[in-house]
Amino acid sequence: MDSSDTKRPLSFLDSYAANRGPIVSSWLVEGESQGSFVQLEGPFRRYRRTPAASSDEPDRIEFELWVPGLNWLFAPLYRRLLTKANSKLASFLPPAPISPASLVTLGLAFWITLVVAYCATLLGQTLAFGAGSLHASSFAQAVLLGASRFDVLIAIPATRLADRLGRVAVLKWSFVAAIAATVVIGFSPNAFVLGVFQILAKAAATTVTLVVVVLVAESVESKARAWAMGFLILPTALGAGTCAALVSTLGITDWMWRVLFFITIFALALLWSVKRLAESERFQHASRSRSLKELNHPKLRSRLILISVAAALVNIFFIPASQFRNQYLTVNRHYLPYQVSLFTLFTNLPAGIGLALGSRLSETRGRRGVASLGLAVGGLLFGLAFVTSGYWLIIFGTLGSIAGTFGVPAISVFGPELFPTKLRSGANVIATVAGRIGSAVGLILVGVGRARGMSYGTPIALLMVGPIILSVVVLLFFPETMGETLEEINPDDLGDDFPTGLV
């Protein structure tokens, strides 16, 4: 949230009102004040609609909207809604009004997430190019990639500090650490130095990612949490995609891979944004500090097992499918490099459709149904893409991408929702460890399949049983949390000093 009270210029808009009464919609609720209408609930920092003297004249609307770095995206949307309050564009927003503070938090979280996603993706994209200049053997490269998975061992205590010291403090220092370690990698004289700082960079990036999710979940309205989780997928994909796109420049010189690490230093300009984040009010008012041993409480233990199993079963399929997709296309389907790029672009772009639908329906139809449908259909279709060819490969890949992202907002919001404030970060990093184990198992199983003469596609397709099983687990055992406040889900958070305005 923005702690600044700086006034920004008002925007003005003339609009013909559908009626002369106050607007009451899913994105804005007006109230009457001195002959005009003001915002009771909604996204604007300042807002006033002055009715025209006659029905032949437009109303005068004054408003101020600020979403850091994203006004170009949100301002046209809200301007359109102000001229047509019941526009279908409202379906891209949560089903209830979102506050100005929540939009500021989301805007800052967007850019922070984009940077750390870029940092976390760099090694896998550049290692093959940097190996020559560092004289790293194939074995050394494999060791580097394997060792980078141990970043979570550093992320565990770092993320746990967010439950003790606060979200923003840990977020700020982890963000700086991720950028600093990434820049140092660019100076690496050998593979050992690269490996050490890559572990540090990924650990810091993992910490930032987990803490950002917790901060956003605690800051936004109860009917916008799943929508916000879906929104944060966008910068994650954009950061990783930016890194992948820059790989095309690596052939310019032998040292160009270092430049991709160096340029992250410019992201320090975002540090002012991190400093403008206000601490989560829920963290500030949490009644007491809590030990991770409390996760042994039957209710919390069952919830921790559920989200850990979910992380493992998702990653056991989708991580190998992502990691080995290019090998499958080039080795088993004989795609040329440009065809791989076109396939990736063509199948991934429509995923935004699934993300938009899943984000909205998670808040209106329920988490469990959306998550279960996305996991089952997405896993099945994406798995079939690895045992088909020609047009069917493209069709299954595209539909699987849409269906898979459809379930992402619903399944990802359970992590921050199901645990008390002072255990939220710690519980989610434990689930992350389970997810890493699941991904390792999936990668190993694909390797075993290859060693036994299978194509890349067959063992990957068999692993689609993971998300399909999870879809049943979600329906049968996960609680439905749609529309509930975090305190309704976790009653233990309600202390005598807890402000009722947050509930």
- H-type helices in 247-366, by residue range? 256-262, 271-275, 281-285, 298-323, 325-327, 337-348, 351-364
Q: How far is CA 214 from the centre of its chain?
A: 11
Residue pair 408/355 in contact by the 8 Å Cβ criterion: yes
DSSP conformational letter for 74: H
pTM over 0.85, yes/no: yes
Query: What's the confidence (pLDDT) of residue 495?
Result: 56
Structure tokens given for 406: 């459809």
* Other Cβ atoms closer than 10 A to 20: 10
Closest CA to 167 of 130, 219, 124: 219
Q: Which residues pair with 277 in a beta bridge?
A: 2
Chunked into runs of 10 residues, the chain (503 residues) has average pLDDT values of 52 61 89 91 93 80 92 92 83 92 94 93 73 70 73 91 92 94 90 86 93 95 95 91 79 83 90 80 79 90 97 95 86 84 85 94 96 97 95 95 95 95 94 93 90 91 97 96 93 59 47
